[in-house]
Structure 1
Amino acid sequence: MVPVYNPPSVAPEVFGAGFELARVYADLLATAGVERGLIGPREADRLWERHLLNSAVVAEAIDQAAAVVDVGSGAGLPGIPLALARPDLRVTLLEPMQRRCLFLQEAVGRLGLEGRVTVLRGRAPDAAATVETHAFDVCLARALAPLERLGAMLLPMVKPGGVMLALRGAGVVEELSIARGELEAQGWRDVAVVKCGVGRVTDPTTVLRAVHAAPQPGRRQGSGKTRETRRGREAQRAGGRARST
């Protein structure tokens, strides 16, 4: 196995007792991950900063003993680094592609994580048919979809009071200014951009955090698009009645 260059000095602090396993995982990504096309060849030299540490510091935003789902897990990012840094978490890696699931299963076995990390093949929109609805305390997604679509996909999977953590790029503030109304209409509250790893890693991770609001009695949650469609139909009916008088 070709070893990955020495990890940053902060890595043992971030991963704690899971640091040596994090090194094994980094080597696995740099070899089998690259060979199978899960990680780009140019990513091998920056696996620690860009992928492992970037994922692991998100643990700051997750409560103890949480049930977590990593949606669109790919090569196991951010789910596996989180599981290594936080042995109290129960993590499900949700991934639709079979070849990626095979890699994830091999990685979980190699790292000895079988007892608390589960690999599940499936797509986020169909997850309600695969796992128990509202099964998770935390839903994670790393650059998976536009915020409006992401919120609609993840809401059925998160318990009321649970959180969505979306790892985003530098443009998330502008993205949120456009998507905030739709996210709130879907049933998310306390929507905000937070930084994880400040003072610990060179490039802190930017995360969109939102809480699944408990449905109010007698009120159904739904997307803004659904309501807009309903209003459009009502307007059409009103126009038809006006023309018929």
Structure 2
Amino acid sequence: MPAERLTLLERYGGLLASDGITRGLIGPREVPRLWERHLLNCALLAPLIGDGASVADLGSGAGLPGMVLAIARPDLRITLVEPMARRVEFLEEVRAELGLDVRVVRARAEQWEGPAAFDVVTARALAPLARLLAWGMPLVASGGCLLAMKGSSAADEIAAAQSELTRRRAGAELVTSSVSGCQPITVVRVVRETGSGIGWRSESARRHRRERA
């Protein structure tokens, strides 16, 4: 990561360790492990995303991983989706303080349809995979993917979500990302089968038809 981006990450870490604590966005016990458990952990997601991709980070919370991705990868077009007002306020302040080109939307992941489809949809510890598929896959553009940061239960979650994956004609795989000196992360990458016709537009159309019925 270039030095100027690392400086921004350090400033963001400082905001998390100060305002993030006083506003109850992260616990005080997280401060000693802020870099290893949160900042560097989220930065490891960046190599899995293509150049110039549009990204929707669902349930962004205090900005993890979306804000870290915006810092590490200024080429990405990132939208942070978060329902809680105090978290949205913090995200807006971080965006302004660090001069980041991100969009912040106050909405629940399961209700937000988005203005368009995204190349990548991300989520970190938001919901079990089966539920996350229902929220995230309608937002994924053709040829895009859902990247869900998971822990040791990732394989079990894929197994439990098989019926939902089949229904959505999508496949899931485990992907790891690591750099020297950091604990590797486990990511579930979900990709829709080519030509499945299941995307943002078709999902939204079905929703509107159900609402009119």
Q: Give TM-score scaled by structure 2 length.
A: 0.88
Unaligned 5+ runs, structure 2: 204-213
Q: Which residue type is aligned with residue 38 of structure 2?
A: H
Q: Gaps spanning 5+ residues in structure 1: where? A: 1-13, 223-245
- Tell me how far apart the structure 1 counterparts of residues 60 and 26 of structure 2 sit (CA, whole Å): 12
Q: Which consecutive aligned stretches of 4+ in structure 1 deviate over 2 angstroms post-superposition?
A: 14-17, 199-202, 212-217
Secondary structure at the residue paired with 1:20? helix
1:142 aligns with 2:124: yes
Q: CA RMSD in A?
A: 1.8
Greater relative contact order (Cα < 8 A, sep 6+): 2
**Conservation of the 8 A alpha-carbon contact between 1:15 and 1:56:** no
Identical counterparts, % of pairs: 47
- Separation of aligned partners in 2, 1:187 and 1:40: 39
Q: Say yes or no: does 1:177 pair with 2:159.
A: yes
**Match 1:107 to one of 73, 94, 101:** 94
Distance in 2 (CA, whole Å) between partners of 1:213 and 1:200 is: 34
Cα deviation for residue 212 of structure 1 reads 2.7
* Alignment map for 1:1-245 (pairs within 5 Å): 14=1, 16-113=3-100, 116-128=101-113, 131-133=114-116, 135-189=117-171, 191-197=172-178, 199-216=179-196
Q: Residues 174 and 84 from structure 1, CA distance in 2 versus in 1: closer, same or farther, beyond 3 angstroms?
A: same
Write the distance in 1 (CA, Å) between the matches of 2:18 and 2:196.
Answer: 50
**Counterpart contact for 1:17–1:85, Cα < 8 Å:** no
2:170, 2:191 within 8 Å by CA — same for their partners in 1?
Answer: yes
How far has the Cα of 1:196 moved from its partner? 1.1
Higher helix share: 1
Q: Provide the aligned length of Structure 1 versus Structure 2.
A: 200
Displacement of 1:35: 0.4
Pick the structure with greater CA Rg.
Answer: 1
For residue 232 of structure 1, what is the aligned residue in structure 2?
A: none
- Give yes or no for contact 1:16–1:85 (8 Å, CA) kept in 2: no
Verify the 8 A CA contact 2:168 2:192 in the aligned structure 1. no
